[in-house]
Structure 1
Amino acid sequence: MSNLADLSLRPRILYSCYHNRSAEGEQFVPEHILSFQIAGTLTTFDGSRKQVFREGDLRLSKRNHLVKFSKQPPEHGEFKSLSVTLDQETLRRFSLEHSYHTPGPAEPAEAIVALPLTPLYQSYLDSLRPYEQLAEAGSAGFLALKVHEAILLLLNSNPELQHVLFDFTEPGKLDLEAFMNRNFHFNVRLPRFAYLTGRSLATFKRDFEKIFQLSPSRWLLRRRLQEAYFLIKEKGRAPSEAYLEVGFEDLSHFSFAFKKMYGVAPSKL
């Protein structure tokens, strides 16, 4: 199984396949990723927007975003997707080679862009289907050409994406209170939250305590438990579902913290 956040080899073309079961999780997307849904359904949530991608759908996941996902195979089948990572190093070389000037930071928008499957995209994706051949030793040059081709296709079919692809700036300083209230349920470490809000870890902690009057770890624990209480009590979610939705890794730790805060086990609500 492939993880879209695993970028140890560049350029990278990944083929994901999950057998007869659903898979849920979350990830930080460090690079732009062009993905084609071959079979099954992918449901994503970026903190404010839910999207569903089905067989035949094409999407571009933007870098520096947090995304929750659920991968559902078709009945009696496998979840399959094909993804092309457009890393910053490759995009910088491309911009220099083709004289694309960085237009400045892209406007904040959705984490994932749905793209229409044009004949040009379809032809390109068909050329990637024999993944076993792409993965053979000595194919690095060919893979680099296919990533280069993907960039050209995106610019030809969706020229407005140049503002996304060639934005090489790091996250700017954001409204910390709004960001945390929107993203508290993502299970990422404090340095990642700090980076995404345009702060050093020390500045993040200092600004956080000024705003919330609590340390980040204590606020996150309390806020996640409050959300879990709401989901279980008001929305009828099972504790085994709610703890993952709000950013806990372990059900037993969640149950212990919940009972400590509310005086009752989540299963007793």
Structure 2
Amino acid sequence: MEYQAKYITEDIKLSCYEDKLFKSEIMFEQHMLVWFISGETKIVQAEGTYLFKKGDIFLIPRNQLATIINYPKDGQPHKTVVMHLSTQRLREFYANLGVMPKTPGAQKIRSFSNHPLLESCLASLIPYFEMKDLPANIASLKITEAISILRAIDKDIDEVLANFDEPGKIDLATYMEKNFMFNMPMEKFGYLTGRSLTTFKRDFKKAFNTTPQKWLTQKRLELAHYQFVEKHKKPLDVCYEVGFENLSHFSYAFKKQFGYAPTALLEGKARN
């Protein structure tokens, strides 16, 4: 995989993938503002799948689980400008504004595509990636500008950006039934459900009477079977979207579970 990244600071980067695709499982620990220069990205989350392409601008809230699949498009690499809006930066921005955000509901990706102010702000970063000696405060000013624009164009954005709460203890079974397709370390699942790793494993055993890994594999294979039968998706797409890391391991596990390969199922050769 040909991957290149240029940084103005650790919070602002120009990212470029030139291979056929790049897939990753991510828990977003910071808000991410992304502007697409070229290529496509499929983002799979529990509540739905998003597809972004050239010209799109979107904000991914923090503490979200997602499967990210990046593709080149039309002979152009997958190329984006990414700005991290860290909790520390946002605390500093909101410190003297007296904003008291309401408790947010479900945190979803917010799209700001083709907004001239935001696009101009992000496009203006491009020349800085080629400069060796950049004034220290430039990056800080650009992040402040981006936050200010977001507040001007989205009246509800403070409920996202000014909320600094960490995940509290929530119902583990409900959360895992919704998010099992994301291939995260158990420590991350524990954090997002408000538990230490030890408490997570103990509560998981009580809820499902099995280990997390056995349960996750079973649930992912069941979802894969559904995707083949009802959605007629390709094996590679299903493999990535249900939480497996490579096609060979997925195919082996699928055949072991159901007694036939995904290709046989798609061809109508599988027997009940």
Q: Same fold (TM over 0.5)?
A: yes
Partners of 1:42 and 1:254 lie apart in 2 by: 22
Output one character per residue of 1:105-152: Cα deviation in whole Å (capped at 9) or x when no partner.
322231x11125333223312321214246x35544211111121111
Closer, same or farther in 2 for the Cα pair 1:41/1:237, shift >3 Å? closer
The letter for the 2-side match of 1:64 is N
Q: Say whether the 8 Å CA contact 1:31–1:88 is kept in structure 2.
A: yes
Closer, same or farther in 2 for the Cα pair 1:251/1:82, shift >3 Å? same
Output one character per residue of 1:210-240: Cα deviation in whole Å (capped at 9) or x when no partner.
2212121111121122223333455444544
Q: Secondary structure at the match of 1:45?
A: strand
Q: Say whether the 8 Å CA contact 1:14–1:84 is kept in structure 2.
A: yes
2:107 aligned with 1:115: no
Mind listing any 5+ residue stretches in structure 2 that lack a counterpart? 266-272
Q: Say whether the 8 Å CA contact 1:10–1:87 is kept in structure 2.
A: no
TM-score, with length taken from structure 2: 0.84
The letter for the 2-side match of 1:124 is C
Q: Secondary structure at the match of 1:169?
A: coil
Runs of 4+ in 1 over 6 A off after TM superposition: none
1:222 to 196, 205, 218: 218
- Which stretch shows the higher mean deviation, 164-173 or 151-160? 151-160
RMSD: 2.6
Closer, same or farther in 2 for the Cα pair 1:102/1:137, shift >3 Å? farther
| Residues 194-205 of structure 1 aligned to structure 2 (within 5 Å) | 194-205=190-201
Q: Say whether the 8 Å CA contact 1:20–1:77 is kept in structure 2.
A: no
Kindly tell me the number of residue pairs found equivalent between the two proteins. Answer: 262
Instruction: After TM superposition, give the deviation of residue 28 of structure 1 in Å.
Output: 1.4
2:32 aligned with 1:33: yes
Output one character per residue of 1:138-167: Cα deviation in whole Å (capped at 9) or x when no partner.
544211111121111111222321111111
2:168 aligned with 1:172: yes
Q: In the alignment, what sits opposite 2:269? A: none
Q: Secondary structure at the match of 1:76?
A: coil
The letter for the 1-side match of 2:69 is S
- Which stretch shows the higher mean deviation, 236-245 or 149-158? 236-245
The letter for the 2-side match of 1:231 is Q
Closer, same or farther in 2 for the Cα pair 1:56/1:266, shift >3 Å? closer
Q: In the alignment, what sits opposite 2:121? A: 124
- Which stretch shows the higher mean deviation, 84-93 or 207-216? 207-216
Q: Secondary structure at the match of 2:249?
A: helix
2:87 aligned with 1:91: no
Q: In the alignment, what sits opposite 2:268? A: none
2:214 aligned with 1:183: no
Q: Secondary structure at the match of 1:17?
A: strand
- Which stretch shows the higher mean deviation, 70-79 or 208-217? 70-79
Partners of 2:243 and 2:82 lie apart in 1 by: 26
Instruction: After TM superposition, give the deviation of residue 41 of structure 1 in Å.
Output: 2.3
2:150 aligned with 1:154: yes
Q: Say whether the 8 Å CA contact 2:255–2:262 is kept in structure 1.
A: yes
- Which stretch shows the higher mean deviation, 12-21 or 63-72? 12-21
Aligned identity (percent) is: 37
The letter for the 2-side match of 1:29 is F
Closer, same or farther in 2 for the Cα pair 1:186/1:128, shift >3 Å? same
Q: Say whether the 8 Å CA contact 1:34–1:83 is kept in structure 2.
A: yes
Instruction: After TM superposition, give the deviation of residue 81 of structure 1 in Å.
Output: 1.4
Mind listing any 5+ residue stretches in structure 1 that lack a counterpart? none
Partners of 2:140 and 2:61 lie apart in 1 by: 20
- Which stretch shows the higher mean deviation, 202-211 or 249-258? 249-258
Partners of 1:159 and 1:23 lie apart in 2 by: 34
Q: In the alignment, what sits opposite 1:80? A: 79
Closer, same or farther in 2 for the Cα pair 1:140/1:71, shift >3 Å? same
